[in-house]
Chains A and B, each alone.
Chain A
Amino acid sequence: MAGGAASGGSTQGDTYKEARNWLLLPAWVTLSILVLLPVLLMLVYSFLTKEFRGGVIWEFSLGAYDQFFFDRGLFGDEPPKLEWTYITIFWRSIWQAGLATILSLLIGFPTAYYIATRSEKVRPLWVFLITIPYWVNLLIRTVSMRFMLREEGPINNALVWSGLADSPIQMINTNFAVQIGLFYSYLPFMVLPIYAAVERYNFSLSEAASDLYASKWTTLRRIVLPSVRPGVVAGCILVFVPSMGAFLAPDLLGGAKNFMIGSLIEEQFKGNAGNWPFGAAASMILLSLVLIILTLYARQQARANKAGA
């Protein structure tokens, strides 16, 4: 079973060995042409020269990466310094996505644990309850959140009415709103893998710990958490990665003022900037970051599997 999940599931017989290549051909063709090739083309575009006011000139240039990493002053003729603008945007995205992930973990772990310890009969119903909101269009969920956080929205009305706040609190168009939006968008992604891990966890280990007079919280920290760690890591990745590239939450909840990577990239193609090579370069940098995170995760999984076996 080791590595099964990472390689598309374990094999179960070889009945269709001869037809294998034909069966795989449609997937190979579709995905190579419509996903792999475009990503490679994007890599090429990131090394092209930008055309004034949108589009590209087919000439090799490092301009896009230079713009990303080096600041040559307002007039472009000063000696290059490290450019903080885009690094800040990336850092902000990582920071926002990280906070959203931590928030999801704080709420998601106890929830997943609680669900996984219900009786076997009602568990699927709980999972069902957690997944339904995920099936609602992300756009609609973000809009609902925007409605909730408005200055004259339900949350502020409730706060003022109950006397917890004297006047409405500014929530919309803040970093806080973006974090809440991301957290709300991807919370089910945190709950489900942790749930799956806790469900497989052997509770006799907890009992043994308890017999040895370990306190409840010590048991949780020293016994349960290490055992379900793969689920926690998977949940964190599933929340963190899409949060980093998010576009709707910063736009609709953050007031489009504090850019995140997704908005930065979007603006290069659909907005004011119109700088294709730069948009392609920023996309490549984002993709590299995500692939690094996924590789580290795969390594960690492989090591955990080895240790487990």
Chain B
Amino acid sequence: MKSLLTSTAIAATLALGAGTAQAEGNLSIYHWFEYMPQTLLDKFTAETGIIVTMDTYDSNEAMLASLKAGGMGTYDVAVPGDYMVSIMIGEGLLDTVADGELKNKGNIAPEWADPSFDPGWSHSIPYQWGSTSFMVDTAAFDGNIDTTDILFNPPAELSGRINMLDSQGEVLAMAALHLGIPQCSQDREQLKALDAMLQEAKGHWASFNSDTAKEVLVSGDVAVGQIYDGFGAKARADRASLKYAFPTQGYVAWMDNVVLLEDAPNRDSAIAFMDFLLEPENIAAVSNYARYGSGLAGVGPFLDPELASLPESNPPASAGPGVFIEVCDEATQAVYDRIWTNLKK
């Protein structure tokens, strides 16, 4: 028994030691699911010798929760959306990238030079941008789909066949567009109306799911599903009758960004990775895979020509505005959190 214990202890020490010995050449990424092509990570490893591990999440809020639940200090970079970048800056979760640390920073397209969520890109770099709306299976419904009524006040044939994203930000922003109220409203009547409208709408919904947003549409389990534009393009490739809607009331626009996390265990690797993604050829590989736009100049030659004409990224003239998700103050957020909990109870 003694020798068994000893050998176990040796095995444990070896295994744990092995993990820390090569820590200099590691990179730990916290990323959205089904977004980063494995081939690009392999290319990064081939170029730099840095070994990449990647964990995935399915909503900005879930990522924040997990980072605050002991995840800080274990990941080097994460990929939050625009509003979440400002929240994370406010929470002190992001490290500052000093001027000149990123040699490819000049590749950022002029129109994205100074975003409001991270002025001057001092903690992050642009990754991908796109929209969140919903898709409808035109084989199941042939009426007008370009209205938020499809989600919140659906026709009888779609009722009970709707999947919503399990993401507070995206669901509540879309609901605000539907009612035509501001996203961080403090008006009690508006908030009550929002709560009541969502309670009513919930009866028409089959499920809340982000990771299976594509699968449930492709398999025909639901006929309507909230979805990101690029993910939707992939869904359409598998089921041609799916159509991405651009509601006249508006839709959610977003930009995901690679951020440098505070206490990153491999800060140098993280900088190298950010620089890698600032090369047009590399970020174009992400766009070609995930079917979203990039925030860099000079990506054109590397892009799949088909991307330019995707119906999911070319809103018709009738489309409403694309709005970014806003950050509310603590007291207002508490009300929205309660509305969200009421919705999911």
Contact = CB atoms under 8 A, between A and B. Distances in A.
Contact of B65 (A89, A255, A256, A270): A270
B303 to A, nearest CB: 34
The SS class assigned to the B binding surface is: helix
Give the size range of A's interface with the partner. Answer: 20 to 34
A215 to B, nearest CB: 48
| Residue among B62, B163, B167 with the highest chain A CB neighbour number at 10 A | B62
B297 interface: no
Interface stretch (A4-12, A31-39, A47-55, A195-203): A47-55
B56 interface: no
Interface stretch (B135-143, B242-250, B318-326, B334-342): B334-342
A137 B81 CA distance: 35
B234 interface: no
Interface in B180-233: 188, 191-192, 195, 205-209, 219-221
Interface string A41-73: 000000000001111000000000000000000
Nearest to B166: A256
A53 B168 CA distance: 13
Nearest to A84: B345
A184 interface: no
Given A74-B335, A259-B344, A272 B167 contact: yes
Contact of A272 (B163, B168, B191, B207): B168
Contact of B221 (A75, A76, A85, A150): A150
A118 interface: no
Nearest to B343: A257
A291 to B, nearest CB: 25
A126 interface: no
A272 B61 contact: yes
B209 A256 contact: yes
A74 B338 CA distance: 7
A269 interface: yes
Contact of A75 (B61, B62, B163, B188): B188
A124 interface: no
Main secondary structure of the interface of A (DSSP, over half): loop
A76 B163 CA distance: 30
Nearest to B194: A74
Interface in B58-115: 59, 61-62, 64-69, 87, 91
Nearest to A256: B208
A167 interface: no
Interface string A254-281: 0111010000000101111110100000
Contact of B219 (A88, A150, A274): A150
B345 A85 contact: yes
B220 A152 contact: yes
Contacts of B306: none
Contacts of B333: 52
A150 B191 CA distance: 37
B160 interface: yes
A142 interface: no
Interface of A: 52-55, 74-76, 85-86, 88-89, 150-152, 170, 172-173, 255-257, 259, 267, 269-274, 276
Q: Which 8 A-B pairs have the closest CB atoms?
A: A255-B207, A54-B68, A274-B65, A272-B61, A85-B345, A173-B207, A272-B168, A55-B68
Interface of B: 59, 61-62, 64-69, 87, 91, 160, 163, 166-168, 188, 191-192, 195, 205-209, 219-221, 330, 333-335, 337-342, 344-345
Given A152-B219, A267-B344, A274-B64, 11 more contacts: A54-B65, A170-B160, A255-B163, A255-B207, A270-B65, A271-B65, A272-B166, A273-B337, A274-B61, A274-B68, A276-B69
6 contacts: A75-B191, A172-B221, A173-B206, A257-B207, A272-B167, A273-B337
